[in-house]
Structure 1
Amino acid sequence: MADLLSTGISGLLASQVGLSTVGHNISNVNTAGYTRQTTTFNARAPQFSGGYYIGQGADATSVQRAYSQFLTQAVWSASSGQSRAVQYAGFTAAANNAVSGSANLQTALDGFFGAVSDVANAPIDTASRQALIGKANTLVATFRSLSSQFQQIDKQTNQQISTSVDSINSLAKSIADLNGQIQRASVGGAAPNDLLDARDQAISQLSQIVGVNVSDAGNNMVTVSVGNGLPLVNGTASTQLSTANNPYDSSRLEVVGPSGSIISSQLGSGSLGATFDFRTNVLDPARNQLGRAAIAMTDAFNKQHAQGIDLNGDAGGKFFDIADPAVLNNSNNKGNAQVTATVTDVGKLGASDYIVRYDGAKWVVSTTAGVTVPSTGTGAAGDPILIDGLAITVPSGTPQAGDSVQIQPTRNAASTISVVVSDTNKIAASGPLAATKASTNTGKGVPGKLTVTDVADPNFRTPVDIVFESPTTYRVNGGPLQNYTDGDTITGNGWTLKLSGVPAANDTFSVKPAGSASGDNGNALALADVANKGVLDNGVTTVGKSYSQLIAQVGTAGAQANTALDAQQSILDQAMASQQSLSGVNLDEEASNLLRFQQAYAASAQVINAANTIFDSLLSAVRG
């Protein structure tokens, strides 16, 4: 009876372990990262009795996780990709909102050039001139508002980087601590399942921030590395990352490894990698494109404004002002060279930023992406380094080998644009020259389009009389006789004139400097035409088109980000489904197991009861 009692007790205890495991599964059905556990049973060694063996019952030999390392790592990888896509899509949406929001630059441009046209229609009207200055300030405010919004997004990337690094350090320490707990708890080969789940969950959370590579370190511990193999967790030790200011731009944060080197470019996966990718591939190009449009607007409008005459009779001065390109010294420079940069040709100005590095003998220029840029010049005051519409000089100081500066030709230009003109009399609406006809003319010819071709001509402002000796011939200031056909262009000293209608013999036309308050609108018409003038890309791209390119650039990035997010979400869903089909808790299955172990437990109790009854019967027989 002792054997039967022992057999029953073994079944009872084994079923109790099974019930406990099922109960644990059911209790953790909503626990993140929990892996379903199963109980393994083995029959006890039988007892030989004569010519046969008698079974001795069963033991619960282990409680194991329903676990696949392959499926788990697939989830980590998919989670990293999905988290990256979510972050990237969120940032690109913010950039899209900035360029397409209420501070719409195209609307401001249209309003400004509409006001210029109003001045052309009424060149000496004070109200029209005041309205133009108001629209100019609105345009400037729009440029600055967009630049400010981009700067705010830049600050958000800094906050995200700082928060991510703190989370990485916390999770790395947690994983290292769990490595130690798992090692100590792995007694006699038994696996501490719940601690293993906790470690896997911590790794999963880490993979959402940065891509991880997990390998077996022995003794039930793991090694976790990030980036290009940087060990983040090694056994019970964890590496702490930190942030530091960018060596060129102190307003930006970079991730620094334990050796002090910047590892930002190595973190391509997860939400942290997405933050750096967005900053490099979307935000910086957008800010540069906006600044490029501001520089183009300033340059084109100022050049045309300088060709006109204001109501005081003076040549037009600057209408807009804007800062020179930013030159940022590397904080690790050993020398004291001072580098400056100016825009010399807006038509050649690109949207790149540059690194200018001294190699010990000369200055070498490359883009921030590392592409070498062909250049001429030494950087001396009389021999500037010329690249992409920029002139770079080193007016003072001595560089040391390895010293470098970053040049941002357009990055912050939109935040520095301003309106110089505040006096309505200072708007140079009049052309520098005016064409008139004599009151004694008898023909139908009237001055048409007067175009300035070379304001630097030494005789540009010399008054000219054009006298027709017949409808087909004329002299300029009594000079040689020239033939004329209806529609011909008459060329003067830095200007051309077309007549409308046929002149008669002895008709006279004059071209002379425009006087103050003349009512001429020649320059105002030319200023209005700046809206349609190709300025950038060697005279191909207008200011308005440049802004359209910015919208398309950011919009395309946003659309691609959303497409990538859909794809990554699908990959994650599939990976999770595969992993959960093996490791997830199914309440229907657990209910079935619960009933099975309950019945086994009850049956084992009956075996014990039967053994007790038989034993009592034997005792009674002996006593009787």
Structure 2
Amino acid sequence: MASNLYSIGLSGLQSSTARIATTGQNTSNVDTEGYSRQSTSTASVSGGGVRIQDTARVVNQYVNQQVWTDTSSYSYFQSYHLMMSNADSMIGEDSVAISTYINQAFDALQTANSDPSDSSYRSVALTKLDSLANQYNELSNFLRDQKQQANSEINDKVGVINNYTSQIADLNGKIQAQEALKGTTANELRDQQEQLVKDLSEFLDVKVAYDDNNLMTLKLAAGQPLVLQDRANSLSLVGGNSDPQQLDIMLDFGKYSVGVSSQDIGGSLGGLISYRDEFATSAQRMLGQQAWALADNLNEQNRLGLDGDGKFGAALFSVGKIAVAVADRNSDANTSIDVRLSDGGSKDVSTNDYEVIMNSPTSFTVRTLDSNGKLLSESALIDTTTATPNANGYFAVAGFGVEVKLNSAGSYATGDTYEFAPTQDVARQLNMVATSGSALALASPIEVSASSSNLSDAKISISAITDTDIATSDFVATPRLAPTAPHSLRFTAADTYDVLDSSGNVLGTQTVTSYDNLLQAAGISSSGYDVSLDSAPQAGDTFSIAFNSNGSSDNYNGVRLAGIQNQSVVGGDMTLGNAYTSLVTEVGSLTATLKTNMDATQVVMNQSVSTRDQISAVSLDEEAVNLLRFQQSYSAAAQVISAARETFSTLLSVLR
């Protein structure tokens, strides 16, 4: 019996020693990040005594997963908000706002209209328009730099992520070696592994599970495996097909790689990708759409007037080439197409992705897609064997605002695809091509007058200037009106008139009840201009139309140039100023929303961490109580051994 008592006491000493050691380990690691409190469990032994079962970590994997998920959510909004704050401080700043430069440029145009003969006013107006173009350049370059900064950070974070996953996979190997081969628990290694997951969750959203060997399996939110046992699959970056700045994330499985959807990333990496893809890219395209609306409408209107030298107006601005990407699946990577924006087509150009798809080697259609690749619209089929290209070989795509030129005749295959974003770089490449204020075509190309011998007080006015192209209008290169152009109106009755050329030949006769657009009413629609009367004339009244050879003081076209400021030229429904204000509002609203989400997810994350700490963190008060309890248990076990020894000595004495 003394022997049994001795064994019981000895097992008690061992149990207490183990628990004291565990308490010491907990106390020593009270400030160790990621450390999980340990607890030594015991079981009673048949016949008396206690057996140490194991020393395990006190953890709740569901709570841990919640911590990692909440950390990822907070990091996502924090990263996104930081980038958006930079954009908000730039785009929302009044001193650099496009709307400020728009007002200055059009105010200068109005001043030039007050005295078109003053070259200094013209020069100031052109300088202000050039400053407006430069500001579009500056803001677009800022967004481009922001995307580059995001890409640099994305590249850095991908390197850190791969380092973390490699360490986690390596720890799986070490844990298996220690627990399976040596038969001892790997508590500290598992703590290190979970701390790595916690650090990793700041970069992306991960899901953790354990296999049959209780080894950690790590997956992306969408289910792609990052870590399987002791093997880690690394992330990599590849340039986007239609935009080299749009680095796509790939998951490398060794023999092959698969793309990872940006919506499944999460964490600070996901925040950077969302900023780059959802905001910066969209903002660049919105600015490009606005810049092209400015350039296209001013160019088109300027072509309808006479400049300071009495010549037909020319384009004031130019934009660079549209970058076109060849789809990887195309039959021949060396085939190409050229795409440019259509003059006068800015109202039709969207900020969406575009595709040219070959329906046959000689025909194609143009499609627009949203950011998720969903089809939005598709053009009519353009057959290059029957359609007529313009002088430069481009085919106009009605309703899409672009023109397409095929460069590889006979080499295309059905299904070949070419991708581009027409407004992506317009704001960055917007350039003033006019070199002096005289390039502003403020004057009308025609002048009209009523004969002094007219019997009525009816006055004639220009109702429209629609075309000054010498190939399609009644203007000639000299410049002047063609002799066969409408030069005068002669009323044979109050409601009947003849349209006459310069030689008095009748070009058309018409009876009307309205005196608006009289040339069109007479069936003359290709002259490039039209006129109206403000009241009914009398029989015998004549009205002349002549080339405006002395229009230095005329501002007919200048007024229309200045009026573009108040026209809905962006997307067909917004003015230039409203379009930029809309962008500023969107930036401010998104920044505020991200700040709200960041604050909310931080509260949730802190609550999750607090819950985890209540379960797994070391409490010095609790450990102090445990240490006292286990010390007393140790002393009691020692007393049992002492009692056993005395009992055994007594028995020996009796036997003697």
What's the offset of the Cα at 1:323? 2.4
What's the offset of the Cα at 1:410? 0.5
Query: Residue type of the partner of 2:36?
Result: T
Q: Is the partner of 1:223 in helix, strand or coil?
A: strand
Aligned to 2:379: 375
What's the offset of the Cα at 1:149? 0.9
Aligned to 1:547: 580
Aligned to 1:49: none
1:360 and 1:507 mapped to 2: Cα distance?
Answer: 60
Aligned to 2:282: 285
- Mark the CA change 1:34 to 1:352 in structure 2 (over 3 Å): closer, same or farther: same
Aligned to 1:264: 260
Is 2:43 the partner of 1:42?
yes
Of all paired residues, the percent bearing the same amino acid is 29
- Mark the CA change 1:136 to 1:170 in structure 2 (over 3 Å): closer, same or farther: same
1:401 and 1:203 mapped to 2: Cα distance?
Answer: 48
Is 2:474 the partner of 1:458?
yes
Retained in 2: the 8 A contact 1:474–1:484? no
2:163 to 162, 170, 177: 170
Query: Residue type of the partner of 2:530?
Result: W
Is 2:609 the partner of 1:576?
yes
1:562 and 1:363 mapped to 2: Cα distance?
Answer: 46
- Mark the CA change 1:499 to 1:199 in structure 2 (over 3 Å): closer, same or farther: same
Deviations 1:260-309 (A, max 9, x none): 44413266132333333333322222111110111110110011111111
2:404 and 2:497 mapped to 1: Cα distance?
Answer: 51
Is 2:589 the partner of 1:588?
no
Is 2:546 the partner of 1:512?
yes
Q: Equivalent residues in 2 for 1:192-591 (5 A)?
A: 192-226=186-220, 228-258=222-252, 259-265=255-261, 268-271=264-267, 272-330=269-327, 333-335=330-332, 336-344=334-342, 345-358=345-358, 363=364, 365-366=366-367, 367=369, 369-372=372-375, 373-378=377-382, 380=384, 383=387, 384=395, 386=397, 388-397=400-409, 398-400=411-413, 403-435=416-448, 450-455=462-467, 458=474, 461=481, 491=518, 494-496=529-531, 512-516=546-550, 518-537=552-571, 539-591=572-624
What's the offset of the Cα at 1:148? 0.4
Query: Residue type of the partner of 1:204?
Result: K
Q: TM (normalized to structure 1)?
A: 0.85
Unaligned runs of 5+ in 2: 388-394, 520-526
Q: Equivalent residues in 2 for 1:82-231 (5 A)?
A: 82-101=74-93, 102-186=95-179, 190-226=184-220, 228-231=222-225
What's the offset of the Cα at 1:236? 1.4
Retained in 1: the 8 A contact 2:242–2:420? no
2:558 and 2:165 mapped to 1: Cα distance?
Answer: 66
Query: Residue type of the partner of 1:389?
Result: G
1:431 and 1:128 mapped to 2: Cα distance?
Answer: 18
Q: Is the partner of 2:586 in helix, strand or coil?
A: helix
Query: Residue type of the partner of 1:167?
Result: V
What's the offset of the Cα at 1:79? 2.4
- Mark the CA change 1:517 to 1:490 in structure 2 (over 3 Å): closer, same or farther: closer
1:360 and 1:24 mapped to 2: Cα distance?
Answer: 75
1:328 and 1:2 mapped to 2: Cα distance?
Answer: 88
- Mark the CA change 1:403 to 1:113 in structure 2 (over 3 Å): closer, same or farther: same
What's the offset of the Cα at 1:162? 1.4
Retained in 1: the 8 A contact 2:113–2:558? yes
What's the offset of the Cα at 1:442? 12
Indicate the larger mover: 395-404 or 284-293: 395-404
Retained in 2: the 8 A contact 1:124–1:519? yes
Is 2:67 the partner of 1:67?
no
What's the offset of the Cα at 1:140? 1.0
What's the offset of the Cα at 1:554? 3.3
Retained in 1: the 8 A contact 2:262–2:274? no
Indicate the larger mover: 244-253 or 123-132: 244-253
What's the offset of the Cα at 1:329? 2.3
Indicate the larger mover: 455-464 or 218-227: 455-464
1:140 and 1:464 mapped to 2: Cα distance?
Answer: 40
1:401 and 1:582 mapped to 2: Cα distance?
Answer: 63
Q: Is the partner of 2:112 in helix, strand or coil?
A: helix
What's the offset of the Cα at 1:497? 5.1
Q: Is the partner of 1:536 in helix, strand or coil?
A: coil
Aligned to 2:524: none
Indicate the larger mover: 410-419 or 14-23: 14-23
Q: Equivalent residues in 2 for 1:50-65 (5 A)?
A: 55-56=48-49, 58-65=50-57
Unaligned runs of 5+ in 1: 47-54
Aligned to 2:69: 77
What's the offset of the Cα at 1:221? 1.3
Query: Residue type of the partner of 1:419?
Result: M
Q: Is the partner of 1:218 in helix, strand or coil?
A: coil
2:96 and 2:512 mapped to 1: Cα distance?
Answer: 55
What's the offset of the Cα at 1:71? 1.7
Retained in 2: the 8 A contact 1:242–1:257? yes
What's the offset of the Cα at 1:139? 0.5
Query: Residue type of the partner of 2:21?
Result: S
Indicate the larger mover: 91-100 or 474-483: 474-483
Query: Residue type of the partner of 1:425?
Result: S
Retained in 2: the 8 A contact 1:211–1:267? no
Query: Residue type of the partner of 2:265?
Result: S
Cα RMSD over matched residues? 4.0
1:498 and 1:15 mapped to 2: Cα distance?
Answer: 112
1:244 and 1:471 mapped to 2: Cα distance?
Answer: 74
Query: Residue type of the partner of 2:223?
Result: G
- Mark the CA change 1:77 to 1:119 in structure 2 (over 3 Å): closer, same or farther: same
Retained in 2: the 8 A contact 1:490–1:496? yes
2:494 and 2:319 mapped to 1: Cα distance?
Answer: 51
What's the offset of the Cα at 1:108? 0.9
2:257 and 2:382 mapped to 1: Cα distance?
Answer: 31
What's the offset of the Cα at 1:195? 1.1
Deviations 1:541-588 (A, max 9, x none): 222222233223333433443343344334333333332222222232
Aligned to 2:523: none
Retained in 2: the 8 A contact 1:80–1:207? yes
Aligned to 1:51: none
1:240 and 1:207 mapped to 2: Cα distance?
Answer: 16
- Mark the CA change 1:340 to 1:95 in structure 2 (over 3 Å): closer, same or farther: same
2:55 and 2:552 mapped to 1: Cα distance?
Answer: 99
- Mark the CA change 1:122 to 1:505 in structure 2 (over 3 Å): closer, same or farther: farther
- Mark the CA change 1:364 to 1:428 in structure 2 (over 3 Å): closer, same or farther: closer
1:508 and 1:222 mapped to 2: Cα distance?
Answer: 95
Aligned to 2:522: none
Retained in 2: the 8 A contact 1:84–1:273? yes
